[in-house]
A and B are shown apart, each in its own frame.
Chain A
Amino acid sequence: MVSFKMNKRYYSRAMANKILLHIFFVFLGGHLIFLAPAYSRDYDYINVTNPFLKKTPVAVTDFKPFNGNAQEINIGKTAKAILKEALDFTGYLKIMNPVAFLSNPAESGIQLGEINFRDWTAIGADLLITGGIIETDGKITLKLRLFDTFNAKLLVGKIYTGPESQVRQMIHLFCSEISYQLTGKWGIFNSKIAFVSTVNGNKEIFSCDFDGRNIKQVTRHKSISLSPSWSSDGQWLAYVSYAKGKPDIFIKNIEEKRGSIINYKGMNISPDWMPGQQKLAAALSFSGDQEIYLLSIKGEIIKRVTNSWGIDVSPEFSPDGKKIVFTSKRTGTPQIYIKDLESKNAQRITFKGKNNTSPAWSPDGRKIVYVGIEENNIDIFVMDINSGMPVQLTMNAGDNEDPSWSPDGSMLTFTSTREAGVSRIFVMNASGSDPRRLLRLAGKQTQPDWSK
């Protein structure tokens, strides 16, 4: 019985990022509060894939400064602001206006037993988050709790300790815990988004945090660089660049100066990493025909995946790595197909419209999001693979392209020209609601890829 659960990848990345956070269980009356793993699996508070999702109201209270000094008060305010922003970003939580609050846990107490849950149910808060902050010798300790107000239950209780510079990461770790508790998924708070941005007329690869902050320029080729793709451990980026004169695939380790280039004759484009493997699928044209191949990280061809005359491009793996979804023109117009890597047959899944491209497989494996073009309108559609019914997610709001799923499947990031006709990165909920611009950066941004 351990309440601190992290999947392997999440944990290893946190380690790789060298976040030294000490995480303790919250003591309450001398007893450890255990949250059985089965608890969250038996009942998920929020189904993030529900298109009719109603936002759950959550009250986030002021952080209690244990020593009461100015530094605690200031950092507490910052931490609370980061927390509210991150929770609001999820799209399934509604942050309540503190004007309505009937009590102040920062004064009356932040623990179970010190909270009068009627104060919170009375104002319609389904969830309550309290925080405490202790500053000792430059180290910050945050005590964070999530309560179910109707059942008067502690859902998550965590203590994080680290330097002030890691407050943002501590808050996001807590948000991941909240996400796991509420949705059964670790969420987006540890994820990154890679994208293309113009710099002085060239196109370079950038990355940022899930919320559009912490923007970093990854490449400096002074050329055309396109189609970034994260490996499933978040340690590698594959992308296309004309840095050597023609479209080749560059593979780059994010932390170390390691990498390789896949540069067969002709084009080498649209890389996608096989989940959990150091292998990629990509479209190459050295044969004179644009076909999809399975490649090693060094570019050796493991196998040819498609075998039909005409364009085959933009492969994306299924979450189990056994299938790919891709764009093919084999029937005369570009359409979306699914193919088992081991079998010969490809199954066409789009039948509406004459131009369907750029597919991406949902993390739960059930849906494909793609771009459909009709009469010069470029929009994003999602299809349940079993039903085959396409649902349009964007409409009458510029050109919308390059959809990519958030790691929990609750959101999509995409490119849109809805603001003044200029390409920008947007995010929206998986149902198409709450579209909003992710980041502000000079130039034009395209092709976002959300890390797994």
Chain B
Amino acid sequence: MKKRVWVNLVMAILVAGLFLTASCAKKTIVSDATTIEDQEKAKLEADAKAAAEAAAKAKADQITQQKLEDEIAREKAQKAARILAAKQLFENQDIHFEYDSSDLSEIAKAGLKEKAAWLKNNVSLMITIEGHCDERGTTEYNLALGDRRANTAKNYLVNLGVSASRLNTISYGEEKPLDSAMTEAAYKINRRAHFVIN
């Protein structure tokens, strides 16, 4: 019997709950004033947001422009670096010779062709061609051999159309080795024509 009373009670609560739920829905419809207040607030918020967005956009625009200027500067620097690299390549890439020889190998000729092309694109530059030898051979003979190597390189450039008046030569013989080791590898890099932009 007591159990039945509990079931009825639960049922009563559930029904009451149903009514309560129904009354809540009805309440939403009647609270219009509150809604208007909320809308005004939202509008303010939206305005603030728009202003913030505008500010952010302005800032972004500024950043973009800054970035472009940096890019121009970087490109300039890169171009200068490319010119410098080309200059350095011109100066650092030596033409090499066989032992006791001032003849130009195919590799040496190819290197001189590159140099001639570059010199024609940089007509204002004056060049000194240094002739060097490995340390084998006597001092005086090597001075003459270095002189010959520098002249051979010069004449080849002149034949490729570079003005002779832009090309100075000097022999250092065996006085300025790049590597003073007494090895074939050292001798090989020391037998060279070296190019200097004046």
Contact = CB atoms under 8 A, between A and B. Distances in A.
Interface string B136-168: 111111011101100100000000000000000
Interface string A329-361: 000011000000000000000000011011000
B114 interface: no
B45 interface: no
A421 B138 CA distance: 16
B170 interface: yes
B165 to A, nearest CB: 12
Interface of A: 203, 224, 226-227, 240, 245-247, 266-267, 269-270, 283, 285, 288, 290, 311-314, 327, 333-334, 354-355, 357-358, 371, 373, 376, 378, 401-402, 421, 446-447
**Interface SS of chain A: helix, strand, loop or mixed?**
strand
B187 to A, nearest CB: 9
Of listed B138, B141, B145, residue having the most chain A CB within 10 A: B138
B190 interface: no
A245 B171 CA distance: 11
B139 A378 contact: no
B25 to A, nearest CB: 102
Contacts of B169: 266
B61 to A, nearest CB: 58
Contact of A227 (B100, B139, B145): B139
28 contacts: A224-B172, A226-B143, A226-B175, A240-B143, A245-B170, A247-B143, A266-B147, A267-B143, A267-B147, A270-B140, A283-B140, A288-B151, A290-B144, A311-B141, A311-B145, A313-B141, A313-B143, A314-B140, A314-B141, A327-B141, A334-B141, A357-B140, A358-B138, A371-B138, A376-B136, A402-B138, A421-B182, A446-B139
A246 B172 CA distance: 8
A388 to B, nearest CB: 21
Interface in B106-146: 136-141, 143-145
Given A269-B140, A283-B140, 10 more contacts: A246-B170, A247-B170, A267-B147, A283-B144, A290-B144, A357-B137, A357-B138, A401-B138, A401-B139, A402-B139
A227 B141 CA distance: 11
Contacts of A314: 138, 140-141
A402 B170 CA distance: 23
A251 B169 CA distance: 24
